[in-house]
Structure 1
Amino acid sequence: MQVTPWLVLDVVVLALIAPLSAYAFERYHRRDRRRELLAFGTLTLGIVTWELTSIAIEAATTAGGKLLWYNLGNTLTAPFLLYAFLWFAVAYSQFEVVDPRWIRLVGLGHVLLVGSLLLRWPEFMYQSAGLLTHGPTTVLGITFEEWIVLDRVLGLPFKLYQLYIYGLTVLGGAVLARYLGRNRSRLSTRQTVAIAVGVASPILVNALVFSGLVPPEYNLTDAAFGVTGIAFAVATFRYRLFRLVPIGREQLVETMADPVIMIDSQNRVVDSNPAARELVGAPDSWRGMDAVAFLGPLSELQEDENEPGPTEFEVDDGGRTRHFDLDRSRIADTHGQRGQLLVLREITERKAREEVLQTQRDDLEVLNTMMRHDIRNDLQLATAYADLLEDDVAEDNQAYLDQIQSAATEAIDITKSARDVTEVLLSAGGETNPVRLDTVLEAEVAEVSEAYDSGTIELREAVDPVQIEADDMLESVFRNLLTNAVEHNDTDRPEVEVATEIGADTVRISVADDGPGIPPEERESIFAKGETGLESDGTGLGLYLVQTLVDRYDGRVWIEDNEPRGAVFVVELPRVS
């Protein structure tokens, strides 16, 4: 055994790479079973075996011994390192087109072929021209005595073999470059560049030997693996190669409850997650299946170019109906469309809620019909008969007839409020449109004035024909404010004044009464559902309805003091520009 400068260098590189390999395997087995981590551990293990082989070559002192280790390196070490790199490139970039099983199969074939040739012809790759003596020399203060090296003549088979290795290495580098081109985040770029530097360094140095620029006995390939170790360490610990995986597929896709399916331009399934495979009952050999065969009962998801597929569909899952919403994304590169990504979001619970809401809406429709027709028509008929009895009732019974008429009239008003609330609930989220303010406001002032002839309701001045963004329910806002001003007034003859103020972007409508007023502490709560205020016998729906509709119109409503007494309800609504 001999000690050479190259042997010491190999030991240093080995000391740098071996901990990286141990770290990767330890992390994989204990806490993080991702295939890119296993592939990285295998790649660094390949470098470790390379360095061990180089140490054995340097330590050997006979031509036969050195040739034996060279041949073992070409048979085992070089293929192991080469295909480990290809596997890592595929796993790191999630390049699903290449199945890692094929990489292992081709690698095994490589070993068997090269091993058979070298076992039959030991000098098949290169011929031994004897031993050469180097040294003595001093490196970094360490003196090395004379050592021997094998004088090799590189034959044509070796050069062809090297070209094959370079070709596969370039292929792996292209996979990484492709990934880098598609993922340009700062972190993933630095990760990939660090890995590329680590991979390229020994290849470039080895190419110098292959081209004849550097004699074989001065091969610095082993030293270049030191650069590889440093670059891999930077990628692993500085740029968090495995703490922050660039794609994170296992975390983002494999664990998703939503089925995910990727289909290529040839209509083949290239990827899917467990949720998708369970939904369609996919076989173990699902990868590469025709999409229609894979989807089975969901084959309608396959979109025709001229007839887009559905976005919502249902699946019978063992007697239980499941609903899904389809999110279809095109996958394309610089050459155009390459396939599509299907994400199926389950909306079964949402559909169930929608069915409950629809049932409730149907019930409200029935209630609304009853309010608008049956109940109100009967009440109006009752008031009509009461009016006919006006002249035939004895004077001492007149108070009872007045009570009947008052109660019936109030019940009609309640049905109107209930009808309006029902309309609001049924039209929740409905669209607004331009509505002329003067037409609606003047009509409601006239109608309420006629209904309450015991009071006075007046417009301060004519209303400008401006338009506001509202809907058909706007009349309910003004009717409830005017009715509230009269009914909750404590004077013998209530006086209500309506005014408008036209602004650049908004319109303010104020309804001022001369009643008892509303204390400041009650002004916000009075708009709540069920609040009647002032010891009233009303339902409390009127002002709640006002607040609800004004909110829908993106407006505001508030209460101010009137002078000398009373309250002013102010509604501010946006104008149509």
Structure 2
Amino acid sequence: MWGMKLFCRSWDKYRTFYIQGAIFNHMEYLRAILSWPYGIIILLVAGSIVTSSSIIILVLRKDFRNVNFFFPLTMASVLIWSAGYLGELLTPEKSVMILLSKIEYIGISLISFGWFMFCAQYTGRVKKITEGKYLYPLLLIPLVTMFLAWTNEHHGLIWAHITTVESGPYVILDITYGIWFWIYSAYSYLLLTASTFLLISHAMKGASRARFTTIILAALIPWTGQILYITNLSFYLDFTPVAFSIGGAILLFGIYNYRIFDFLPIARNAVIEQMVEGIIVCDAQNVITDMNPASERIFGISKKDAMGKKAPEVFKDCVELVKLCEDEGAKEKTCEHKGRYYRAKPSTISGHGIVLGKLVLIEDVTKQKKAEQKLRESKQRFEDIARSSADWIWEVDKEGKYVYVSGKVKRILGYAPKELIGKTPFSLMPKEEGKRIREIFQKIASKKENIVDLENWNVTKDGRKVCFLTNGVPILDEKGNLIGYRGVDKDITERKKAERKITELNETLRLINKIMRHDILNDLQIADSSLELYSEEKNEAFMEKARERIHKSIALIEKMKGLEATISSGKGLKECHVGEVVNAVVKNYEVNCTVRGDCTVMADEAFYSVIDNLVRNAVVHGKTDKIDITIEGRGNECEIRIADHGRGIPDEIKKKLFEQRFRHGDTAGTGLGLYIVKKTIERYGGSIRVEDNEPVGTVFVITLKQYAGD
């Protein structure tokens, strides 16, 4: 217990007189070294830390990922050296200063090695070293130096004697160096000299001298600080970290403004020198700073003779290239030189808004130019044929997009050729038709087959439908790969209309033939049997039945004759006032007919028979005594409702009512009346349906397109 009290009293006394005193003395020391003008040295060393840290962060970003490992290693060495020396300046304690000096030697030992390896890789001049054969021997001296610095107390090979001296307010180390320090210094300066030689020799070849000058300055300035320190011209203060802060600032400036690390010269040697395309580099004053062997071959001038001269002097025989070099806003140009054609593509070399120069890529396009000339001649012949053709000629790529359309398309589809470039034929078709034709085209294209007589419907610019007959052949490159198709579209719309009319006529003839063979033959057989019975029994009922069947056959023949004449005449539809036709029909029937409304449609003479058939159907089969006919225009359609108040039609009969030869009830006729009505309405582009009337009866509803006028 007594011992504990004695320890506490002793600790309080030590804390009061020694620790607090030491802190007070250190604070006084800091006030002295941070006062004007001595604090400038502290600020400069701190600036070296900030600068080297910033450079490390910059070069490790993705923008500088092509910088080799040794440059950030060098900057890290600068950072360690600067940080250690800053701590050394901020303390007057000798033991602490020695410890910080040992930490500094981690950076000092590696800085020369890292810088030399960076220069060797950057210039591509010392390949054996960068491949590792001499890498470890070079690294041996820095590692030994680092080891000897941390074990100096046992041998004194780095620091033979260490004391402290005052330089102004600073307490600094006064060191007598050992033998190994001078060995390392010789090694260090040897690497620095080699590094400087590599950069200067490479810069003299012309590639971006401004960038290499920046690097050389950044390398030389820090070593001037070390020379001042070793020769004791700096009054025991080591200005090497300060010099490194200046060198680092110069390097940072070069990174931002001269794009020092945009590409590695080793890549330039390996790639640019072997390119078949020419490369020419000129600075902002239009002076040639570099050109590769391909450019020498193209223009027949050596790089040595071209370097340092202005572009107009070097390329006086190639006017377009001179214009390209002189004009900042110029884009690629094609120039002729000694009977060959070259395409020149410029790229501006700049850094953060500062134009440093221009790189021009020279590509031999003689074969391409000759091919283009042949293509132009072929295209001209093609255009001449297209203009003389009544059909329109097209060319599509392998995706089906138009790359060429002849002028005839304007007359046929209403589109100018330029309106169709980049579009597909499928986009000009109705949706389902486009889908169908696209599938056919893809199948044909996959097999590289010809397109043969492919019929397809298209929509013109003003909404009309036209039918094309398409024929085409595949276009293949020299390897047999499909490039696209070239072909012709023939307008066969009128032919398709004629074919449709022929089809309708054939259907009518087949219908008439069926009627003649079946119904009329049947009626004649009944009439013949009735006449035979009349001759035997002299009963007038048999004679009346025979007359009835004969009259029915005559009426049917007249109806079919009229229908055949209407369709086979080939006459088109014309303007027809529905109200006039309806009123003309109902006058022939002794039933109460009410007609309301009117509209105009496109029809022909058969429209009268349609209305007559429906009214007679209501009177004869519906047994009605009243018919209401309503005619109403709805948008672009005309709706005609013929409603009776008769006995109606069962639902199961409605489904079959318009079928050919369907008969129902005791008043059934030939089974052709409503079938003919339906076919006629469909020929007009309309439709017909049957509904129940309320409370009783039937309603036939006809929907036709309303006439819109000329």
**What TM-score do you get using the length of structure 1 for normalisation?**
0.42
Q: Find the structure with the greater CA-based Rg.
A: 2
Which structure has more RCO (C-alpha within 8 Å, separation ≥ 6)?
1
**What TM-score do you get using the length of structure 2 for normalisation?**
0.36
